[in-house]
Amino acid sequence: MIKKLVFLFLFFLPMLFFGQETDDYTLEVIKHNQGTVTDLIINEDSNELFSADSEGNILVYSSENYKYLKSLNLDASDKIYKIRFVNKNEDLLINYYNLAYKNGKQLIQKNGGKLCLYNIKKDTIYKTFKGNYKITNANGEPLITIAKDDVNLILFDKASFTKIDSITTQNRALSSTISFDTKLITTIETAKNNEEKALTIYDVAAKKSIYNLDFKNPKKMLSAVLFEKESLLYLTSNPKEKDSEFNRIQLKDFSVENLGNNDFYTDNANTTIIANNKEKLLI
């Protein structure tokens, strides 16, 4: 049986970190693997783009011309949530979904799953951490943040994959971003009703929240967050109008600046943002 192909749309948004201003977007379309794309990361050392999907596949492309290069040797029965480079880019950290079954039907547990370390050179998984783990931040950031059992947010060093610090969030952490100096973490959290979302900024050393912004308006649903040098970028989505709004919070006084709307839709708290050299957003 021929499986349906999924197309991957890459929106490149030049950022304002260095003072430039733009309203232009460029779009690349990649003929992708059979499952829904769940994550993609770029290895700048090898100029390769690694793309994971819901069918348990990880495909490798050239990040220069997006030509297909190879597939990794994995058990395709496991559903992949996120992937990250660790141990000086020698290993790939793979975050799977925990799976459950009801009446013979497979269900995906959204609170995370096991972590596996895959050696790229040997093309094999050599270590597994069982539990409810969920990678929550973008690949381009200085540390990896992993939520354990929803509210325990652990910070890991990329080069050695060792624990640096941890905080306890107020509610279930959906996604996060860490500041350039690693002193602040911002999370998208959900209330118990799984409908209302909140943006919360934490001081890592003090292990407490210093700013909170609730999103109760159904026309402005919080979708994604990313630290800039002296500010925080966040996106909201309007499901009915299928558009998104960019906003910026200045960290010195927490004032909010509206940057305008865009005619593409970012899914509620599931948007993937990857910072490429902190000059571009890959959404």
Q: Which of 230, 221, 218, 166 is nearest to 199 (CA)?
A: 221
The whole-number average pLDDT for the span 13-33 is 43
Region of 254 (left: φ > 0; alpha: ψ -120 to 50; beta: rest) is: left
| pTM passes above 0.75 | yes
Q: How confident is the model at residue 204 (pLDDT cuts 50, 70, 90)?
A: very high
Region of 30 (left: φ > 0; alpha: ψ -120 to 50; beta: rest) is: beta
* pLDDT confidence of residue 23: 41
Task: Indicate the average pLDDT of the chain.
Answer: 79
Report residue 256 as tokens: 């909010």
Minimum mean pLDDT range among 29-43, 65-79, 258-272: 258-272
Q: Which has the higher per-residue pLDDT, 221 or 176?
A: 176
Report CA Rg, the chain.
Answer: 18
Q: How confident is the model at residue 206 (pLDDT cuts 50, 70, 90)?
A: very high
How confident is the model over 247-269, as pLDDT tens digits?
A: 999 999 999 999 888 765 555 44
Tell me the C-alpha distance between 11 and 24, whole Å.
10
- Is the confidence at residue 36, as pLDDT, over 50? yes
Which amino acid, 210?
I
How confident is the model over 92-128, as pLDDT tens digits?
A: 999 998 776 667 666 655 568 999 999 999 999 999 9
Tell me the C-alpha distance between 80 and 94, whole Å.
7
Minimum mean pLDDT range among 5-19, 160-174, 220-234: 5-19
* pLDDT confidence of residue 203: 97
Report residue 248 as tokens: 């910026």
- Is the confidence at residue 85, as pLDDT, over 60? yes
The whole-number average pLDDT for the span 150-171 is 93
The whole-number average pLDDT for the span 215-235 is 87
